[in-house]
């Protein structure tokens, strides 16, 4: 019952705006602490790799960014489906608010991957299955942003964006399994190999710290963007006018 009431309130734009405003400072603070801890352990405590030396340390940015690029798209598509089926306005807000953040993480993953790949592969870019499908993901994010901006009616734009996001979901398993389905230059899975882990604990801990930090960053940035979107959509309602008077 408690969880039901919480989610019911969060579905209300008014309650979402107020609850999100309280959560944002805490999420931002936790994110900052985890980033500092992850960078400290990743850059200063973790030992050099026996093959790659210190150049592997970009992994602590690249890998969490790549994880987030997939995670955010799944969240965006899921929220889009909820908005299409149940017509929940906040689901539409989360969908479009997530797109710029997801695009940023995807771009970061591609750039850091190129920087990491140069000393390993001898080139900044190859049309590898993993890299190419990740680039397609960036185009999907940009397509969602462009489509939303091109349609003036917000509800119609939300439906169009949700459909595009759902169609693009097919790319997510392709990205994830590309290194297993095809013979690629990209390194295979290491963290998820629970039977024979191929990453040392001293490297795994800062990697996971950065992964959690990136997730917290996504949540508090999306909440900030969603609050702005909610105010724009609800600008003619009584509660927004009362809020403006309070300010």
What is the residue-averaged pLDDT of the chain? 90
What's the pLDDT tens digit per position in 196-228? 556 889 999 999 999 999 999 999 999 999 999
Res 245: pLDDT? 87
Per-residue pLDDT band for 194 (boundaries 50, 70, 90) equals very low
Q: Is the dihedral of CA 176, 177, 180, 182 positive or negative?
A: negative
- Percent of the chain predicted with pLDDT > 70: 88
Q: Which residue has the higher pLDDT, 6 or 69?
A: 69
What's the pLDDT tens digit per position in 130-152? 999 999 999 999 999 999 999 99
Q: For residue 50, what is the enclosing H or E element?
A: none
State how far the Cα of 124 lies from the Cα of 121, in Å rounded to an integer: 8
Question: What is the b/e burial string over 173-198, where b = at least 16 CB atoms within 10 angstroms of the residue's CB?
Answer: ebbbebbeeeebebeeeeeeeeeeee
Q: Rounded to whole angstroms, what are the CA distances from 135 to 106, 126, 175, 186? A: 8, 11, 10, 14
What's the pLDDT tens digit per position in 57-87? 999 999 999 999 999 999 999 999 999 999 9
- Percent of the chain predicted with pLDDT > 90: 74
Per-residue pLDDT band for 51 (boundaries 50, 70, 90) equals confident
Topology of the domain covering 24-246 = 1.20.120
């Amino acid at each position: 019952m408690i969880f039901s009431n919480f989610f019911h309130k969060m579905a209300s734009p008014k309650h979402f705006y107020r609850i999100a405003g309280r959560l944002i400072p805490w999420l931002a603070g936790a994110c900052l602490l985890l980033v500092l801890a992850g960078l400290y352990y990743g850059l200063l405590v973790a030992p050099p790799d026996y093959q790659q030396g210190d150049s592997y340390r970009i992994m602590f940015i690249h890998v969490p960014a790549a994880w987030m690029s997939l995670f955010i798209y799944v969240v965006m598509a899921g929220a889009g489906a909820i908005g299409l089926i149940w017509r929940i306005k906040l689901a539409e807000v989360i969908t479009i608010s997530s797109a710029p953040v997801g695009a940023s993480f995807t771009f970061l993953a591609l750039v850091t991957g190129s920087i990491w790949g140069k000393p390993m592969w001898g080139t900044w870019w190859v049309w590898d299955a993993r890299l190419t499908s990740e680039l397609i993901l960036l185009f999907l994010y940009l397509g969602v942003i462009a489509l939303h901006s091109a349609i003036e009616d917000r509800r119609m734009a939300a439906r169009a964006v949700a459909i595009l996001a759902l169609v693009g979901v097919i790319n997510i398993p392709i990205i994830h399994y590309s290194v297993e389905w095809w013979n690629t230059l990209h390194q295979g899975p290491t963290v998820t190999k629970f039977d024979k882990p191929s990453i040392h604990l001293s490297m795994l801990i800062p990697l996971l710290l950065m992964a959690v930090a990136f997730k917290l960053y996504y949540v508090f940035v999306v909440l900030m963007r969603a609050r702005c979107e909610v105010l724009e959509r609800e600008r003619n309602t009584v509660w927004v006018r009362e809020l403006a008077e309070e300010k």
